[in-house]
Amino acid sequence: MTAAPEGSVFGLGDITYQSFFSPKKAGKFIWGVGPMLVMPTGMDRLSSNQWSLGANAVGLTMPGHWVVGALVSNMWSIGGYDDAPDVNFFTAQYFVNYNMKNGWYLSSAPVITANWEADSDNTWTVPFGGGFGRVFSIGKQPVNMALKTYYSAVRPDNASDWNLQATVNFLFPK
């Protein structure tokens, strides 16, 4: 028997800090490894209510108009509320971008997750999809805007089938 869906929720999630150590001189393959820390700052159901620590790694290459790579991590709870479930959470995000003229790009960057604390039928979330975006300037401020949609082919009980992502990032290059 599965629990009834709890409805939608809107708010802020936990803060995740990721740090990468990488070679000073990048070759054709760029990589980095390092620690990550999750701080339980989220609201309501959007927080694990646990401090978590883990490791992450990233690798990518940029042949021609393409950017292709992956980011993987796993985190474990190290403290928090006594009644909060333990955290043992894996993420893998492959990313494929094709850059076009005038700052436009096509992109796929789904986040695949595994909650190792869940029962075996509810461990994995595996989405597929993608979208498009554009990097442009508002005055002197560079901005990245994107719209992507993903279908979760594998998902836990009561998880959404579809995910729509609309993002606006203000960029601060050197």
pLDDT for 23-64, tens place per residue?
A: 999 899 999 999 999 999 998 888 999 999 999 999 999 999
Residue 85 backbone dihedrals phi, psi, to 5 degrees: -65, 150
Task: Label residue 53 exposed, middle or buried (CB < 10 Å: 0-12, 13-18, 19+).
Answer: middle
Hunting for tokens 């990518």 — which residue is that? 60
Q: Does residue 172 have a pLDDT over 60?
A: yes
3-state secondary structure of 65: coil
Question: Which pTM was predicted?
Answer: 0.85
Q: Does residue 145 have a pLDDT over 70?
A: yes
Q: Does residue 134 have a pLDDT over 90?
A: yes
Integer Cα distance of 113 and 48 in angstroms: 15
Integer Cα distance of 133 and 138 in angstroms: 15
3-state secondary structure of 122: helix
| Domain residue limits, the chain | 13-91, 100-112+120-174
